[in-house]
Amino acid sequence: MRTKISNNTRFVLITVFVVFFVLIMITPVSAELRTIDKGATIFIGENNLDITKAVGSSNSIGWWASAASVPSSDPIKTIDLAGKTTSFFVDPSDFVGHMGNWYPLNTEGKAQLSGDTLSSSAVFNVQDPRISVAARDFSKIGNGDVTGMSVMQGTKLGFSVDTNMYVVTNPQYRPNANTATDGYINIKWKGEDGQIQNNLLMGTLGSTTSTSTLNQYVNTQPWDFGTSTSYWVTDATDAKGQYVYPAGLYVFWAESKLNNMKDNYKNAGADYTGKTVSKTMMLTLISSSVSIQTNKDSVIRGDNQGFGIYIFAAPSSTYDLYINNGDVSGITPPTVAAISQYTFPLMSPGHYQIKVDLDGNARIPFVTSSQTTPRIYTFKLVDPKGTQKEAHVNVEVLAGVTPTSTTTTSVTTPVTFTTTQELVTTVTTATTVITKTTTGELTPIVTTTTSKPTTTINYSATIAAMQSQIAEQNAKIEEQGSWIDQILRFLGLK
């Protein structure tokens, strides 16, 4: 007895069939990295590869050492492909130590060569995978590698992946590769809470998108996650104004899931660091709160007398620097030195605009003059973006002491002298210089120099002491002259 199908049931069946047919039609055809063409590079640990097109009619493949003659010698290692061509496993036990070109074998176990060159006959080239990752500051010139460094919240960060596996995206050898669906690198990270994360707020401050760090289609070497215009917004805040990424230590790493290699290629049972999993790297986010310091707490005003203001803030950012909150009416404040390495525009009296360099630093040299008003000055740094980030430091300008000119006193006393000698006598507070004059007299000059304006000197006592010394010297000179006269007479010279 035949069961009669109702019209409603028939309609449902037809509808299901149509939907199923449409789904088949709109599904992408063979979007994967497992189909291999001849000459492709494949990696140890890859599984379920379809190598049918690569091997052709051959049922086995062989490997020769680099120095061996492939056409005339036997292979060192062979692999039977029976039942394996549509689900081939690049088994570490077979291919570690046997990397490079593998060739098809004929029924006699010899290389089945074709093409103009030996390499063109190769079924595929087996390589050991390699992977590393680094943190990158996109605001820096060059690669901007900041791995292991401390950077401020607000730094334009991203990641850079370096791997030899990027060649698998070449459609010449993996014809079904699809940019949208075949991402094979996962980037993961952890903050100080220890939770493994796989997404980041990317974009710019005020315009961010939660972006997955998984399934990245790495097709260049190196390859960057992020750009200078769409980066990890490290100073992003939540609805309560709290930082999404608090200051602290962050670790990150990259993994390859290319055709299950991470699960298939192990190192004594553990993930193979440097091959299927990168080393775990780190960086430290430090608070983006601005810091301002000075190299002098006080300075005596005067020409070329000055001090430095030092700023540490978010790299390449702009801040406002105010002297006394910008109120300098009725006073003459210190000014930025004209020899400054950078230009700091004066926006208004007591208000400068400061551009922080790529390292998050700025040094502003200030100078004073004799007209600078002596007082305490407050230098306040303010973030103009309204984040309420600010810091301040005080510098006191002192009037100083008016300098006193050096005082010199000379006393001259005539002394009779009959020889051509020159005598110099030095005492504690005065110097006596005796020189012969054209009239045969010796004139001692006593000079007293006052080196400190606050020192009081008793000139009368000093002069009296010097005169006493001079008298003693004159007596010795007269005695010396008498002996000289006697000698001259004895020699008949006088």
**Do residues 98 and 154 share a domain?**
no
Q: How confident is the model at residue 412 (pLDDT cuts 50, 70, 90)?
A: very low
**Do residues 167 and 232 share a domain?**
yes
**Do residues 301 and 370 share a domain?**
yes
What is the C-alpha to C-alpha distance for residues 330 and 177, in angstroms, rounded to an integer?
A: 74
What is the C-alpha to C-alpha distance for residues 261 and 45, in angstroms, rounded to an integer?
A: 4
Does residue 116 lie within any of the structural domains? yes
What is the C-alpha to C-alpha distance for residues 354 and 341, in angstroms, rounded to an integer?
A: 12
What is the C-alpha to C-alpha distance for residues 90 and 35, in angstroms, rounded to an integer?
A: 14
Does residue 32 lie within any of the structural domains? no
Does residue 442 lie within any of the structural domains? yes
Cα angle 163-227-261, degrees, rounded to a multiple of 5:
25
**Do residues 351 and 271 share a domain?**
no
| Residue in 474, 467, 472 with CA at minimum distance from that of residue 413 | 467
Q: How far is CA 107 from CA 18, 58, 61, 361, 363, in A?
A: 49, 8, 11, 72, 78
Q: Please give the tally of structural domains in the chain.
A: 4
pTM of the model: 0.62
Does residue 13 lie within any of the structural domains? no
Is pLDDT above 80 for 354?
Answer: yes
What is the domain range of residue 486? 407-490
Give tens-digit pLDDT for 240-288. Answer: 989 999 999 999 999 999 999 999 999 999 999 999 999 999 999 988 6
Does residue 378 lie within any of the structural domains? yes
**Do residues 155 and 273 share a domain?**
yes
Give tens-digit pLDDT for 193-211. Answer: 999 999 999 999 889 999 9
Tokens 């998108």, located at residue: 209
Q: What is the CATH number of the domain that holds 378?
A: 2.60.40.10
The pLDDT mean for the chain works out to 82
Tokens 């002297």, located at residue: 323
| Residue in 345, 341, 335, 332 with CA at minimum distance from that of residue 367 | 335
Tell which of 368, 398, 428 closes a domain: 398
Q: How confident is the model at residue 213 (pLDDT cuts 50, 70, 90)?
A: very high
3-state secondary structure of 20: helix
**Do residues 272 and 302 share a domain?**
no
Supply the Cα-derived Rg of the chain in whole angstroms.
45
**Do residues 141 and 262 share a domain?**
yes
The mean-pLDDT minimum among 127-136, 278-287, 333-342 falls in: 333-342
**Do residues 75 and 205 share a domain?**
no
Does residue 53 lie within any of the structural domains? yes
Tell which of 398, 421, 437 closes a domain: 398
Does residue 4 lie within any of the structural domains? no
Give tens-digit pLDDT for 40-93. Answer: 999 999 999 999 999 999 999 999 998 889 999 999 999 999 999 999 999 999
Is pLDDT above 60 for 431?
Answer: no
Residue 465, class by beta-carbon neighbours within 10 Å (0-12 exposed, 13-18 middle, 19+ buried)? middle
Tell which of 348, 367, 398 closes a domain: 398
Does residue 167 lie within any of the structural domains? yes
Is pLDDT above 70 for 459?
Answer: no
Q: How confident is the model at residue 143 (pLDDT cuts 50, 70, 90)?
A: confident
**Do residues 99 and 153 share a domain?**
no
Show the tokens assigned to 213: 């760090």
Question: Phi and psi of 472, rounded to 5°?
Answer: -60, -40
**Do residues 68 and 214 share a domain?**
no
**Do residues 232 and 353 share a domain?**
no
**Do residues 176 and 282 share a domain?**
yes
Residue 194, class by beta-carbon neighbours within 10 Å (0-12 exposed, 13-18 middle, 19+ buried)? exposed
Across 324-373, where does the E strand assignment appear?
A: 335-336, 346-348, 351-355, 361-368
pLDDT at 26: 37
